[in-house]
Chains A and B, each alone.
Chain A
Amino acid sequence: MHRILVINPGSTSTKVAFYEEEKLLWSTTVSYKKEELSRFERILDQFEMRRKDIEKIIQGKNLDFKSLSAVVGRGGPFKPLESGTYKVSDKLLYDVKTGNVQADHISNIGVLLAHEIAEKAGVSAFFVDPVSVDEFEPVARISGIPELERKSLLHALNVKATAYKAAKDLGKSLSELNLIVAHLGGGISICPIRKGRIVDVNNANEGGPFSPERAGSLPVSSLVKLCYSEKFTYPEMKRRIVGNGGLVAYLETNDIREVEKRIAEGDKKAKLIYQAMAYQIAKEIGSMAAVLSGEIDAILLTGGAAHSSMLTAWIKEKVSFLGPIYIYPGENEMEALAMGVLRVLKGEEQLKEY
């Protein structure tokens, strides 16, 4: 019986969950106020506070450290890595502590926390499919100017977890399938997966369809003009495309339920913008179909926005000619982390080395 503790630090909370095999036994969340966090200069400085709170939770649940089989932490924007489940190694801990990562992000301390708890339990710590999963083919890295390389950053955890679920439902192994997975959340990632490898992705912060909060691809010359217009500072411009772009920029909300409510009330602009989002998602799926030379076993729609039947119907209308479409709404990070480790513990998947 494998017993797995899952640790997922977010910007204002830490989620902790406990799995026995596939079964969730409990999960709980510690929330932090912004003021509480603002006293820390660096994200890494939050480690002690978060560690103590996790240990309190464990004590409160009367969980015996010795009964754990493994601890898994959310992975961060580490160096580019193949997808899969990794053991937290000394090299990784060193890289995270010394800032040798692609971005400073709270998820980076997930592995530090997992490592600390695992040490106490005398078991191994793991991480699964971080955002820096990179299985690009060389051809996908080229943009249109050398100094701006296309990079693989994506919602890899949910994308891979969804791909595994679909493979199981199709009765096939992931390594024999070609899939296009669309993660539809606050950011959108559209991934062609060839025999288990994510060979391209739009990179939600840099391009592709616009999403509830991000601008996606933009007409480049106009964007450059805007940058030089002196209307915006650099941080403002960045924020304009990630955080305040997409639906927020057009409709001042990132909540698709609110958008759908407005559409139901006859708001034509809301409808046009929402349709444009579906349109761009469909176009990105079409472009990834060309990456797979049209050999597609299934298209998977996942993430929070996949709950919307309006959005998924518009997407389906445009791309159903490419192959069967399956919808796996929502995302369950805790489960995805636990399952990633379970596959390795059961010997269904090979552990990767950082």
Chain B
Amino acid sequence: MDKSYLILVINPGSTSTKIALYKNEKELFSTSIFHSTDELNQFKRISDQKEFRLQLVEKTLEENNISLNTIDGVVGRGGLVRPIPGGTYLVNEKMIKDLQKAEWGEHASNLGGIIAFGLGKQIGVPAYIVDPVVVDEMEPVARISGLPELERRSIFHALNQKSVARRAAHEMGKEYNEINLIVAHLGGGISVGCHRKGKVIDVNNALNGDGPFSPERAGGVPAGQLIELCFSGKYTLQELKKRLVGQGGMVAYLGTNEMPKVKERIEKGDDKAALIYEAMVYQVAKEIGSCAAVLKGKVDGIVLSGGLVYGEKFVEMIRDRVDWIAEIFVFPGEKEMEALALGCLHVLEGKEKAKIY
């Protein structure tokens, strides 16, 4: 019988820390620890929250009778490390140094590697991170925009994209690194990646405003008119940034980022809601079409994933525009904990080699 592995998953968000315990692919336990703003405000920097969150994690495990000694590996959500190729990375001193100093930016997910490393050390097992948002496998040609000072960067939902890409490969009976896929992560932000033989050679940057608009982000907008708006004196920099990320996209047109509400309005005959919904689909389809050109039409599958995909209509509307490109796979939602656990498992099983940061 194959050996089984117990894997502890740590996923720190801005106001919570999610933890889960996996036995191979199977989730045994999961919970979320919520943190109040007051609790977190006492720390100047995100990395200072380490001890605070670590102790809460230990306490929670203890309360649930999970003995640290049985754990074979710890995996944390990957944070803002330097741009790296995708994969499962061993957390080492060098990475910890970058995360602690927030060398590549401050984000709650930076604590993923830090806490995992702390726990791993305590238990005496390795700690990992998997496919952080800074995964960068872009080809040089994809980095060029139309102005040298504004380079296109690879920042995207790498964890979910890679994980559903592997799932699609598995369903096809193929290896991820022998096929070409277009993967659309459709959530609060939208990223569409061109996966060529296991590498994401191009992807729209959902944070920096390129690609389709999403429930709360504007995506690419007309550049000349945007410049006019910047110089109009109507917005401060902070306001305009918020208008593009957070208050852009569907929320800017319809006043809500909640899809169920939008669907309800459409059902009641709200034409504007229907138009904006269709426009979002339209832009996603266009982004998928542009990825097909990047892959020269050699596409083995299109994978749709994320929260928006729960709606069957959404999927049908995308299908209408792009199903001629390749077979479509639909994996609703986003399973971050499972994706992290599997990334760790593949390394523990020896199916994949951990990468060194």
Given contacts A250-B144, A272-B140, A279-B142, contact A224 B293 (CB under 8 A): no
- Do B230 and A228 touch across chains, with their CB atoms under 8 A apart? yes
- Do B145 and A215 touch across chains, with their CB atoms under 8 A apart? yes
Q: Inside 8 A of A284's CB, which chain B residues have their CB?
A: 290
Q: Which range holds the interface residue count of chain B?
A: 35 or more
- Do A219 and B296 touch across chains, with their CB atoms under 8 A apart? no
Which of B47-55, B84-92, B210-218 lies at the interface with chain A? B210-218
Q: Which of A5-62 contact B (CB under 8 A)?
A: none
* Residue of A whose beta carbon sits closest to that of B240: A224
- Do A287 and B223 touch across chains, with their CB atoms under 8 A apart? no
* Residue of A whose beta carbon sits closest to that of B212: A144
Q: Inside 8 A of A222's CB, which chain B residues have their CB?
A: 149-150, 208
Bound Cα distance A279, B146 (Å): 12
- Do B208 and A221 touch across chains, with their CB atoms under 8 A apart? yes
- Do B294 and A279 touch across chains, with their CB atoms under 8 A apart? yes
- Do B248 and A145 touch across chains, with their CB atoms under 8 A apart? yes
Bound Cα distance A144, B240 (Å): 13
Q: How far is the CB of B252 from chain A (nearest CB, A)?
A: 5
Q: Which of A225, A227, A293 is in CB contact (< 8 Å) with B227?
A: A227
- Do B145 and A207 touch across chains, with their CB atoms under 8 A apart? no
Q: How far is the CB of A221 from chain B (nearest CB, A)?
A: 5
Q: Is B291 an interface residue (CB 8 A)?
A: yes
Q: Which of A149, A150, A221 is in CB contact (< 8 Å) with B244?
A: A221
Q: Is B99 an interface residue (CB 8 A)?
A: no
Q: Inside 8 A of A221's CB, which chain B residues have their CB?
A: 207-209, 241, 244-245
- Do A223 and B150 touch across chains, with their CB atoms under 8 A apart? yes
Q: Which range holds the interface residue count of chain A?
A: 35 or more
Q: Which of A138, A146, A214, A275 is in CB contact (< 8 Å) with B252?
A: A146
Which of B37-45, B110-118, B318-326 lies at the interface with chain A? B318-326
Q: Which of A217, A228, A289, A320 is in CB contact (< 8 Å) with B223?
A: A217
Given contacts A143-B222, A272-B141, contact A223 B275 (CB under 8 A): no
Q: Is B78 an interface residue (CB 8 A)?
A: no
- Do B225 and A290 touch across chains, with their CB atoms under 8 A apart? no
- Do B292 and A218 touch across chains, with their CB atoms under 8 A apart? no
Q: Inside 8 A of A280's CB, which chain B residues have their CB?
A: 144, 146
Bound Cα distance A286, B202 (Å): 14
Q: Which of B243, B282, B296, B322 is in CB contact (< 8 Å) with A140?
A: B282
- Do A144 and B252 touch across chains, with their CB atoms under 8 A apart? yes
Bound Cα distance A205, B278 (Å): 25
Interface centre among A210, A220, A240, A245 (most CB of B within 10 A): A220
Q: Which of B223, B252, B287 is in CB contact (< 8 Å) with A218?
A: B223
- Do B321 and A215 touch across chains, with their CB atoms under 8 A apart? no
Q: How far is the CB of A48 from chain B (nearest CB, A)?
A: 32
Q: Is A101 an interface residue (CB 8 A)?
A: no
Q: Which of B147, B152, B207, B249 is in CB contact (< 8 Å) with A241?
A: B147
Given contacts A290-B288, A322-B297, contact A220 B221 (CB under 8 A): yes
Bound Cα distance A237, B227 (Å): 7
Given contacts A227-B227, A318-B293, contact A144 B237 (CB under 8 A): no
Q: Is A317 an interface residue (CB 8 A)?
A: yes
- Do A206 and B293 touch across chains, with their CB atoms under 8 A apart? no
- Do A148 and B222 touch across chains, with their CB atoms under 8 A apart? yes
Q: Is B153 an interface residue (CB 8 A)?
A: yes
Q: Inside 8 A of A220's CB, which chain B residues have their CB?
A: 208-210, 218-221, 223, 226, 244
- Do A148 and B146 touch across chains, with their CB atoms under 8 A apart? no
Q: Which of A211, A215, A237, A318 is in CB contact (< 8 Å) with B231?
A: A237
Bound Cα distance A246, B223 (Å): 13
Q: Inside 8 A of A149's CB, which chain B residues have their CB?
A: 222
- Do B218 and A144 touch across chains, with their CB atoms under 8 A apart? yes
Given contacts A217-B210, A318-B293, A319-B293, contact A144 B220 (CB under 8 A): yes
Q: Is B173 an interface residue (CB 8 A)?
A: no
- Do B224 and A238 touch across chains, with their CB atoms under 8 A apart? yes
Closest 3 CB pairs of A and B: A220-B209, A321-B297, A286-B293
- Give B contacts to A, CB under 8 Å: 140-142, 144-153, 205, 207-210, 212-213, 217-231, 237, 240-241, 243-245, 248-249, 252-253, 275-276, 278-279, 282-283, 285-294, 296-298, 320-322, 324-325
16 further A-B pairs in the complex, CB-CB below 8 A; given A286-B294, A294-B325: A142-B275, A142-B276, A143-B220, A217-B223, A219-B210, A220-B244, A225-B237, A237-B230, A241-B146, A241-B147, A245-B146, A272-B140, A287-B290, A289-B289, A319-B297, A321-B296
